[in-house]
Structure 1
Amino acid sequence: LKFLCLTENFLSGSIPPSLGNVSSLSSIFLGQNRLSGLIPETLSHITKLLELDLSFNSLSGSVPSSIYNMTSLRYFSVGSNTLVGQIPSHIGYSLSNLQLLILGSNRLNGLIPASLANMLNLQILDLSNNSLHGSVPSLGSLANLRELDLGMNLLEAHDWSFLTSLANCTQLTKLSLRGNVLNGSLPISIVNLSRRLEYLSLGPNQISGSIPVEIGNLVNLFSLGMESNFLYGSIPSSIGKLRNLYILNLSKNKLSVRLFADLLFAWSLDFSHNNLTGELPPVLGTYGIGSGLVSLHMEGNRFHGQIPERWHLLVSTRQINLSHNDLSGVVPKFFEQLDKLEQLDLSYNNLEGAVPASGIFTHSAAVVLDGNKGLCSNSPRLALPICPGISGSATKVKHHLSLLVTSLLIVLPPLTIGSLVLIWFMLTIWKKGSFPFSRWDLVSKMFPNRREVHTAPCHDEKKLKRVSYEDIVKATNWFSLVHTISSTCTGSVYVGRFKSDKSLVAIKVFKLNEPGGYDSYLIECEVLRSTRHRNIMRPVTLCSTLDSQNHEFKALIFELMVNGSLEAWLHSEQHNGIPDKVLGFGQRICIAADVASALDYAHNELTPPLIHCDLKPNNVLLDDDMTARLSDFGSAKFLSPGLVIPKSLDDVGGTIGYVAPEYGMGCEISVAGDVYSFGVLLLELLTGKRPTDDMFVDGLSLCKFCESMFPDRVAEILDPHMAHEEHQGCTEAWMQRYIVPLVALGLSCTMESTKDRPGMKDVCAKLSDIRASFLELS
């Protein structure tokens, strides 16, 4: 036995010391379980051990000193436990071959050993969320270091020499020092960090000084956090040149002067609680991809003047807070047209005049206007003075409303008491098990045309973890925009962590008041009940209850796919040529084979077959080892005899470019439609081109483009971003063995006639053979 992986299996108890007798082991993965007790010292007897992962458990005590002397280790992770003790000073010499060291989220204390600088192969170092103190040692000798997380400790900067030394770490993409006591003035050397740096977090740290103008040198920054410090001066205009900067948090500092930076591409901007003056910048966040500013916080400053009319371009913004400033003029009417706006706080300014009456202003809980003495409104929802010139008819309406309220006060109490008694009675019966069916049976009853799906038994409802609305609110920080992964017309997906768990989850909250929202929830539940496959995303549990407003609330909780969607890997502009962000040819074959396996299972092993109906890269998620999982079954259909023939593409629910052409002609839903979508996805994997690319005009499509180059010129259609080391071997034999058969398979799947397309069983078999052949040679 060489490889032992029992990750995420709800294992409890202690790690058996006898495991140390399996001397042939090279890898032990026991993370994300419920293991407790001490780490056995006997594990150090496994002299060939390369990888040891015990993270996300409840292990206690200290790490045995003998394990710190296992020179063979390359990967050592014991993060997110309750371990105590100190990191030995000699660790850099005894574990000099380590590539990954994760000790974060424990109860370690003491100093960070200077000997870490001797781990020349180290790529990831995580010591966050402990009680480490003292100065941060210089780590500039770690040329391969990609991620350094020292956040949430008690560390000091001393002379900041450690930061200067990190300029030698040219592979660094993440640096987190947040939540320490670094103190002192921010050194200019920060601008010399790696140009590959994507994530930089420095707050809160009691750092003083000004933000260097040269911060614009860090051209690949995605997230910059300097909040809750003592920074002063202006915000450099060079920050506006960071075209990849999507999250910027400079809140709770002493920044002053005007805001000159043109941050046109950001998703989340927080300048709150500073001393910024002048007028609001007219073009802030109004240009990015899809006008993408989602969250804007500028409260607690000294801005004056009017709210810029140019802000009508903030069509994607969901949250705006301009409270506690000195703004004047009227509340702009364009706020009514910002359909995605969910929270608007304009309180404690000098705004005046009539407040708009439609859009977000129809939801009093979403708008805060307190402290503006000159505002008025003819809407009773906003609790503002009535605007001058109110008509007599409006007065009559107000009188009738008063009578209606009085009548309701008489009728509602007995109705409410009766309803509560009925609910109590139903819950009592439910808890006693008097109902002969479960919630899954209720779901089944809502699908009258569904036949029974014969498959491996899924989780019994009683074994599903119970999650309340309050749990979800806390996990998502009140459905914070920062926690939002994606949002569609039927639901929003948030990232969060439940208090009782240590692993992150994805929480899909359904918009039940939107068309299709409830049906989407029901079909996802049916997929949960009916399927079990390694390449299909299944919820780990659900939440069906009432929210704080007593509205129906439905949510599904999934394991978080840490590598995101296939769409982001194929088309993200953020990698800028960095190899780690590019899919290699082998990875693309494996992803295609994974998706084919999922569709083969859905089409051929379920009764009746399950049709996905919306296969596209956005709905293919990648887990931590890049295994593909098919997700988002909100548009799926079970191919039962009573299935209604769609009257339009809206009834199918697919996406332009991927949806089968026969659906546009009113043909019935079939497995062939998924086969077509898979063919498009396979060609997109190979070419890197979306089916909606600008080049596809005048009758030219992705399929026709590939067909026109097949077979002699297929080398010309390959994605130029594909990993270069694999292209160096692109001989004619390599093309004929792998590329030509894959393109041919994609073209056969996208044939116009459904009868000419292969079934997913054949497609899956061919892809499995190609993958096996490629992996054998590589």
Structure 2
Amino acid sequence: MLLLLFLFFLCPPLTLSLNQEGLYLQRVKLGFDDPNGVFSNWNDRNDTPCDWYGVTCDSATRSVNSIDLSNTNIGGPFPSLLCRLRSLTSVSLYNNSINSTLPADLYTCQNLEHLVLAQNLLTGTLPQTLAQLPNLKYLDLTGNNFSGDIPESFGSFRRLEALSLVGNLLDGTIPSFLGNISTLKQLNLSYNPFSPGRIPPELGNLTNLEILWLSDCDLVGPIPDSIGQLKRLTDLDLALNNLNGPIPSSLTELSSVIQIELYNNSLTGNLPVTGWSNMTALRLLDVSMNELNGTIPDELCSLQLGSLNLYQNQFEGNLPKSIAKSPYLYELRLFQNRLTGELPKNLGKNSPLNFVDLSSNQFFGEIPATLCDKGELEELLMIYNSFSGNIPASFSKCQSLTRVRLANNNFSGEVPAGFWGLPHVFLLDLTDNSFSGEIAKTIAGATNLSALSISKNNFTGNIPDEIGWLENLVDFSGSNNQFTGSLPASIVNLGQLGKLDLHNNELSGELPSGMHSLKKLNELNLADNGLSGNIPEEIGSLSGLNYLDLSGNRFSGNIPLELQNLKLNQLNLSNNHLSGDIPPLYAREIYKNGFLGNPGLCGDIAGLCDSRDESKNLGYVWLLRSIFILAGLVFIVGVVWFYWKYRSFKKAKRAIDKSKWTLMSFHKLGFSEYEILDCLNEDNVIGSGSSGKVYKAVLSNGEAVAVKKLWQCSKTAVDQESGDVEKGQIHDDGFEAEVDTLGKIRHKNIVRLWCSCSTKDCKLLVYEYMPNGSLGDLLHSNKSGLLDWPTRYKISVDAAEGLSYLHHDCVPPIVHRDVKSNNILLDGDFGARVADFGVAKVVDASGKGPKSMSVIAGSCGYIAPEYAYTLRVNEKSDIYSFGVVILELVTGRLPVDPEFGEKDLVKWVCTTLDQKGIDHVLDPKLDSCFKEEICKLLNIGLLCTSPLPINRPSMRRVVKMLQEIGVEKQPKIAQKDGKLSPYYYEDASDQGSVA
């Protein structure tokens, strides 16, 4: 024993042992998934954890007092073991994948003051025991999936100053007992599906409250007067509810308030006339999209407002002149009211105006020349008023402008030369005024111009060659003017041009050569001019062209046969000097009106070529009569034969043993399998793919269903039309997979399976019918114009929510394995449903990682890289495919296209972004005013298609990111460096009818 002691003191240990707090944290570490390796320096070679990532210790006691692991991508349940750290005062696990429910024993964290678990995956009800934390001051549970009521115990917090439950699934109503938390400074409950209820008057007892956010909480009834008691309130947000009644005058007693947001309710009556002088701190007032009326109080406009949004109400009268004195006013949105009179003369002289939207009112008079005096005006929208006079010469120097819409007014005079060439304007709309003069050559400076709309004016002179320098121009509409001369040769340089409309002018000469370079042109309207020469054959190479009107000109010669290459919805070549034969494709009665007024034009259409030999025509008449008589006899015999065969078929069908059909229903049905069978004929086929044919069946009650009839045998194929890849997949398995999957799940964004019907030789699946077909068919056809940005955004959210349900809410989770635009179906309102679960698989619940499949299932262009070469499938494979769908929505392009060469859509987008920039990626059919939101959706698509699965977000995270795009369009105001400035905004006029 003495020898051992001697050796111990002679050779002391080389390392110190980790203290007890470190050992606790080592156990915490083991409970988390750590794909990013943030715990790599959490090792037992230290004596304390104070130097570990995210861990902070008290400088005196060396005890752990704070843990911050925000944005680290860790996952797993919340570790209640943290409560054994007796000095712990702050925990932040913001924006991770913390899941499961919050443990009930959190109350043992007795010293905890700051708890942030926002943007995670927590579920279940809120623990009642949270209120037992005696020192808790800040509780943020935003962006999780908590459900149920807010516990009654939450009214007994002792020191709580901030409570944020934004963006959960809480139901019930907002409870009155929250008015008992006298220490509360921030109460944020927005974006929860509460039951309809009133704002509790007891909230007026929270005299320390500074922020009250109750937007989108299904609130009804009036705003209680007691809200006016919150003298320290700086931010009041009650938007997106169903509040009604007048705005209480007590709100003007909020002497500390900076912003008030009451938009999108059903509030009525007038704004309070007096009392606004109490609100000297008010900078933002948004009461838009209500039913308010009366005049705008002068006392309100005398405040030093930063943002005034009163749009989509029924306000009338003049805009008070005092609004021009505000030194902070940057946003003035008054569109869709009944306002009248002239604008204040000095509007903009004292104010850093950014956004002015006065559309759809009854204003008149001239535009104040001072609007851009501060040099910050970006958007000027004044459509549908009675403004008159000239565009002020001072606007030629307004370099900050990006959107100008002055359409449907009474403006006149020449447009200032410098105004044509403003470098940042992407939309210039002067339609339906009385402007005169020429388009100035300075337009060459408008390098960002995307849409030029100047129709219905009195513009004259030649269209300048400089118009061809605008490489971003997508829409040039200049109809109903007095332009002369020929089309400039440079116009063929506009590679992005989608619409060229110059009808009803005085243009002359021939069309310029090189029209084939206008690859993206889909509308060409040059009707009612004096153009001459031949119609260029090159027009036939414009594959996207679907509207062609060259009527009312002096074109001569033959109609080019190359026009047959086009898929035209409108063709009008009438009233020209064309001759020769009409191309066979268009020699039909339905195109007749498009050829009238060309005496030398011949074709097999009644009323054309009347100069033919009459005797020859007489012979044709007798021949046609004979053919019709013979055809009539054949038709009568055929009908009799068909009726006899049909009766025999019906008798044979009734003789079939009905017991051989097996019907499995998943909902209450109003039809039988025999009613379905009667509709399975080729006339009702609406689609066909690698798994079978799809029929539309109209039932006796008038409703329609879709019926998929699976192929009878095994089939190895790559469907040439859809690109489906299914090597060795037995379709019996597909039938079972679809029945097993869709029969058990219920979700608004998953296509509904009514029933399955099978015999030994035939298997049928009966779904709800989707009137607008598949997203892929609609997006990549000439009907893609129906899919504007709001519709595409809605489709992306719907589909994401459907996939999120499969991945996160099904037990066990389900992987679709064939996510693509053709498997996203659209109902009558363009709501999206995920469909076709023939190759879906249940995820291995053992937690052993991705399951390896024996075959590849999926579609070309959508298959995740790792799935293609490892055959391992999990939710990340679906996320990649969904990312490709997002890229389709943003670009309007197919996932695989010969234009890409050896690339697919994902690689093409990445390469084009690097080499040419964002404007060469976005679908030109989308309105550029939504560019910011479209770019955000593009970023989500690129994130989902990351080559490394670990970098792809979960579908639940994708849903949240998509929803944030919609949320971020709401107007807010931020304090920075002592100044008020917008940190995001919504162009509300583009959501209303005035756009």
TM-score (norm 2): 0.47
Distance 2:620 2:223 in 1: 80
Which of 285, 297, 306 is 1:88 aligned to?
Answer: 297
Answer yes or no: is 1:302 the counterpart of 2:474: no
Q: How does 1:252-271 map to 2 (within 5 A)?
A: 252-260=456-464, 261-263=466-468, 264=470, 265-271=472-478
Distance 2:570 2:558 in 1: 18
Distance 2:257 2:628 in 1: 76
Answer yes or no: is 1:640 the counterpart of 2:832: no
Deviation at 1:218, TM superposition (A): 1.7
- Is this contact kept in 2: 1:20–1:42, CA < 8 A? yes
Distance 2:496 2:622 in 1: 41
Aligned match of 1:189: 394
Aligned match of 2:784: 492
- The residue type equivalent to 1:233 in the other structure is G
Distance 2:376 2:258 in 1: 23
Which of 336, 355, 372 is 2:576 aligned to?
Answer: 372
- The residue type equivalent to 1:2 in the other structure is L
- Is this contact kept in 2: 1:378–1:386, CA < 8 A? no
Distance 1:112 1:313 in 2: 50
RMSD: 5.5
Q: What SS is found at the alignment partner of 2:798?
A: coil
- The residue type equivalent to 1:79 in the other structure is S
**Cα distance change on mapping 1:88 and 1:22 into 2, 3 Å:** closer
Answer yes or no: is 1:281 the counterpart of 2:499: no
Q: How does 1:281-680 map to 2 (within 5 A)?
A: 281-284=488-491, 286-288=492-494, 291-357=495-561, 359=563, 365-376=569-580, 377-379=582-584, 380-381=587-588, 382-383=591-592, 384=595, 385-386=601-602, 434-435=670-671, 448=735, 449-450=737-738, 451-452=740-741, 457-458=747-748, 487-488=779-780, 492=784, 494=786, 505-506=790-791, 537-538=797-798, 603-606=807-810, 607-610=813-816, 639-640=840-841, 651-654=859-862, 660-662=864-866, 667=871, 670-673=874-877
- The residue type equivalent to 1:153 in the other structure is N
Answer yes or no: is 1:73 the counterpart of 2:257: no
Which of 150, 156, 176 is 2:364 aligned to?
Answer: 156
- Structure 2: which 5+ runs fail to align? 1-185, 192-213, 596-600, 604-608, 644-667, 673-698, 711-733, 753-768, 773-777, 825-831, 844-851, 886-895, 919-942, 962-995
Percent of paired sites with the same residue = 23
Distance 2:945 2:427 in 1: 43
- The residue type equivalent to 1:275 in the other structure is Q
Q: What SS is found at the alignment partner of 2:347?
A: coil
Q: What SS is found at the alignment partner of 2:400?
A: coil
- Is this contact kept in 1: 2:748–2:833, CA < 8 A? no
Distance 1:638 1:47 in 2: 62
Deviation at 1:325, TM superposition (A): 0.5
- Is this contact kept in 1: 2:450–2:475, CA < 8 A? yes
Q: What SS is found at the alignment partner of 1:262?
A: helix
Distance 1:360 1:101 in 2: 55
**Cα distance change on mapping 1:118 and 1:57 into 2, 3 Å:** same
Deviation at 1:647, TM superposition (A): 7.0
Distance 2:669 2:459 in 1: 61
Q: What SS is found at the alignment partner of 2:467?
A: coil
Deviation at 1:270, TM superposition (A): 0.7
Q: What SS is found at the alignment partner of 1:60?
A: strand
Aligned match of 1:500: none
- Is this contact kept in 2: 1:104–1:127, CA < 8 A? yes
1:86-139 per-residue CA deviation (whole Å, 9 max, x = no partner) reads 11223233x31x332111222222221221123322221111222322221222
Distance 1:86 1:408 in 2: 75
- The residue type equivalent to 2:784 in the other structure is S
Deviation at 1:277, TM superposition (A): 0.5
Aligned match of 1:2: 187
**Cα distance change on mapping 1:35 and 1:177 into 2, 3 Å:** same
Aligned match of 1:110: 317
Deviation at 1:673, TM superposition (A): 3.7
Deviation at 1:303, TM superposition (A): 0.6
Aligned match of 1:198: 402
Deviation at 1:335, TM superposition (A): 2.2
- Is this contact kept in 2: 1:604–1:761, CA < 8 A? no
- Is this contact kept in 1: 2:819–2:882, CA < 8 A? no
- The residue type equivalent to 2:791 in the other structure is A
Aligned match of 1:128: 335
Distance 2:625 2:501 in 1: 37
Aligned match of 1:585: none
Distance 2:629 2:868 in 1: 51
Deviation at 1:197, TM superposition (A): 1.1
Which of 412, 421, 424 is 1:208 aligned to?
Answer: 412
- Is this contact kept in 2: 1:614–1:635, CA < 8 A? no
- Is this contact kept in 2: 1:3–1:25, CA < 8 A? no
**Cα distance change on mapping 1:79 and 1:598 into 2, 3 Å:** same
**Cα distance change on mapping 1:297 and 1:764 into 2, 3 Å:** closer
- Is this contact kept in 2: 1:610–1:636, CA < 8 A? yes
Q: What SS is found at the alignment partner of 2:389?
A: coil
Distance 1:142 1:441 in 2: 63
Aligned match of 2:890: none
Q: What SS is found at the alignment partner of 1:108?
A: strand
- Is this contact kept in 2: 1:325–1:349, CA < 8 A? yes
- Structure 1: which 5+ runs fail to align? 419-431, 473-485, 497-503, 510-523, 525-535, 540-594, 620-630, 682-691, 707-716, 722-745, 769-778
- Is this contact kept in 1: 2:335–2:361, CA < 8 A? yes
Q: How many correspondences in the alignment?
A: 559
**Cα distance change on mapping 1:405 and 1:126 into 2, 3 Å:** farther
1:744-765 per-residue CA deviation (whole Å, 9 max, x = no partner) reads xx999745xx8xx689679979
Deviation at 1:495, TM superposition (A): 6.6
**Cα distance change on mapping 1:468 and 1:298 into 2, 3 Å:** farther
**Cα distance change on mapping 1:674 and 1:457 into 2, 3 Å:** closer
Distance 1:232 1:762 in 2: 55
**Cα distance change on mapping 1:639 and 1:177 into 2, 3 Å:** same
Q: What SS is found at the alignment partner of 1:336?
A: helix
Aligned match of 1:542: none
Deviation at 1:222, TM superposition (A): 0.6
Deviation at 1:660, TM superposition (A): 3.7
1:576-597 per-residue CA deviation (whole Å, 9 max, x = no partner) reads xxxxxxxxxxxxxxxxxxx9x9
Deviation at 1:297, TM superposition (A): 0.8
Aligned match of 2:428: 224
Distance 2:233 2:864 in 1: 49
- Is this contact kept in 2: 1:20–1:44, CA < 8 A? no
Deviation at 1:440, TM superposition (A): 11
Aligned match of 1:482: none
Distance 1:27 1:410 in 2: 82
- The residue type equivalent to 1:434 in the other structure is G
- Is this contact kept in 2: 1:13–1:37, CA < 8 A? no
Distance 1:8 1:461 in 2: 31
1:232-273 per-residue CA deviation (whole Å, 9 max, x = no partner) reads 221111113211100111111111111113243311111100
Distance 2:187 2:334 in 1: 29
Distance 1:63 1:155 in 2: 21
Higher relative contact order (CA 8 A, sep 6+): 1
- Is this contact kept in 1: 2:817–2:857, CA < 8 A? no
**Cα distance change on mapping 1:672 and 1:225 into 2, 3 Å:** closer
